[in-house]
């Protein structure tokens, strides 16, 4: 596995050979999104994107918070901060491999937007999530409205943003905002989830993410054409043969099919 990398406010390590993990590391400030943390998050995501050995990315926080949102106490925040933040979240969404948010603590504002930029979200049952910006006359400005809409539908997205209220993890699970809710040992649950995905053919997992992320915004006819084009060309013959051999080794059913 690659060695861990330490940025000023983010740690990159590898809890499993094909699973990378980025940990927001400003526990004294609720892992809030300072300009330095946004810079470090971008660097960490870029490093993961450039590593061909990575099949899944986990994102979590240190201490009691996942991410408390923007650092409202930062005095010298550059004017480009919001665009830097948007770009960081876009980079996560555009990663070719799946990204999984492990919500280990309070997740508010920009922290919820960070989780929304991931493909999957797993949370401790004790945490809450929300987009409180409207309470002080603002709105989630780093993709929250559009990404939330696509997860929970228009009515619930409007309600969560217009009220600015936070919801417990159990309710987030009910409405499809998160995929799993666990009472304890979030890291272990996240690793099991990631290894389920890493077990599958990397080229097929990447193609799935690409097709679904693109297809959701396309007319059905165009999306189907994209499906056929990508699926017919994904993976080399050698990669496909290797995956069939793995399937045969794992399962007597596949052994009968491919023998």
Q: What is the pTM of this model?
A: 0.95
Q: Does position 202 have pLDDT exceeding 70, yes or no? A: yes
Q: What is the CA radius of gyration of the chain?
A: 19
Where are the alpha helices (H) located in the chain, listed in sequence order?
Answer: 35-49, 81-94, 110-117, 144-152, 154-163, 169-174, 186-198, 202-215, 220-233, 237-250, 252-258
Model pLDDT for residues 53-101, shown as the tens digit of each residue: 999 999 999 999 999 999 988 888 888 999 999 999 999 999 999 999 9
What gap in Å lies between CA 180 and CA 188, rounded to an integer? 13
User: What is the structure's pLDDT at 75?
Assistant: 82
Domain range 5-198, CATH class: alpha beta
Span 136-167, pLDDT tens digits: 999 999 999 999 999 999 999 999 999 999 99
List 67's β-bridge partners, or say none: 107
Tokens of 119: 């493909």
Confidence at residue 239, expressed as pLDDT on a 0 to 100 scale: 92
Please count the other Cβ atoms lying within 10 Å of the Cβ belonging to residue 208.
Answer: 18
Beta bridge mates, 65: 106
Q: Which of 107, 82, 81 is nearest to 186 (CA)?
A: 107
**Is the CB of residue 48 less than 8 Å from the CB of residue 40?**
no
What are the Cα distances from residue 173, in Å, to 82, 116, 170, 182, 237?
29, 13, 5, 11, 40
Give φ, ψ of 161 to 5 degrees.
-80, -40
Q: Are 54 and 197 in contact (CB under 8 A)?
A: no
33 forms beta bridges with: 70
65 within 8 A of 215, measured Cβ to Cβ: no
Model pLDDT for residues 21-54, shown as the tens digit of each residue: 999 999 999 999 999 999 999 999 999 999 999 9
Rounded mean pLDDT of 195-206?
97
CA-closest candidate to residue 71, choices 43, 105, 35? 35
Give 72 or 20, the one with higher predicted confidence: 20
At 79 the pLDDT is: 87
Q: Which of 5, 18, 93, 113 is catalytic?
A: 113
Which residues, other chains included, contact 15 with Cβ-Cβ below 8 Å and sequence gap of 6+?
21, 58, 187, 191
Relative orientation angle of helices 110-117 and 144-152, to the nearest 10 degrees: 60
CA distance 135 to 152: 21
% of the chain with per-residue pLDDT over 90? 88
The alpha carbon of 6 is separated from its chain's Cα centroid by a whole number of angstroms, namely: 20
Residue ranges per domain, the chain?
5-198, 202-258
| Catalytic residue flag (residue 133) | yes
Q: What are phi and psi of 16, to 5 degrees?
A: -150, 160
pLDDT at 247: 86
Q: Among 74, 133, 174, 184, which one carries the catalytic annotation?
A: 133
Please give the Cα distance from 55 to 238 (Å, whole number).
19
Residue 256 has pLDDT above 70, yes or no: no
**End-to-end alpha-carbon separation of the chain, Å?**
34
State the pLDDT confidence band at 106, using cuts at 50, 70 and 90.
very high
User: Residue 77: what pLDDT?
Assistant: 87
Q: What is the pLDDT of residue 4?
A: 81
Per the annotation, the verdict on 239 as an active-site residue is no
């Amino acid at each position: 596995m690659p060695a861990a990398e330490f940025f000023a406010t983010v740690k990159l390590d590898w809890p499993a050979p094909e699973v990378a993990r980025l940990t927001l590391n400003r526990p004294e400030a609720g892992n809030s999104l300072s300009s330095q943390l946004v810079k470090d998050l971008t660097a960490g995501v870029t490093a993961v994107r450039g590593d061909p050995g990575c099949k899944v990315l986990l994102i979590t926080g240190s201490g009691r918070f996942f991410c408390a949102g923007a650092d409202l106490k930062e005095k010298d925040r550059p004017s480009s901060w919001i665009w830097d933040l948007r770009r960081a979240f876009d980079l996560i969404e555009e990663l070719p491999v799946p990204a999984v948010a492990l919500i280990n603590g309070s997740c508010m504002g920009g922290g919820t937007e960070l989780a929304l930029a991931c493909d999957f979200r797993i949370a401790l049952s004790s945490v809450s999530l929300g987009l409180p910006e409207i309470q002080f006359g603002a709105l989630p400005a780093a993709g929250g409205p559009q990404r939330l809409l696509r997860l929970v539908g228009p009515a619930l997205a409007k309600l969560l943003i217009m009220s600015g209220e936070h919801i417990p993890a159990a309710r987030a699970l009910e409405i499809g905002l998160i995929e799993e809710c666990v009472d304890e040992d979030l890291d272990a649950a996240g690793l099991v989830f990631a290894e389920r995905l890493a077990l599958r053919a990397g080229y097929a997992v990447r193609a799935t993410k690409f097709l679904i992320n693109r297809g959701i915004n396309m007319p059905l006819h165009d999306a189907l054409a994209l499906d056929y084009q990508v699926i017919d060309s994904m993976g080399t013959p050698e990669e496909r043969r290797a995956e069939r051999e793995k399937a045969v080794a794992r399962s007597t059913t596949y052994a009968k099919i491919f023998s």
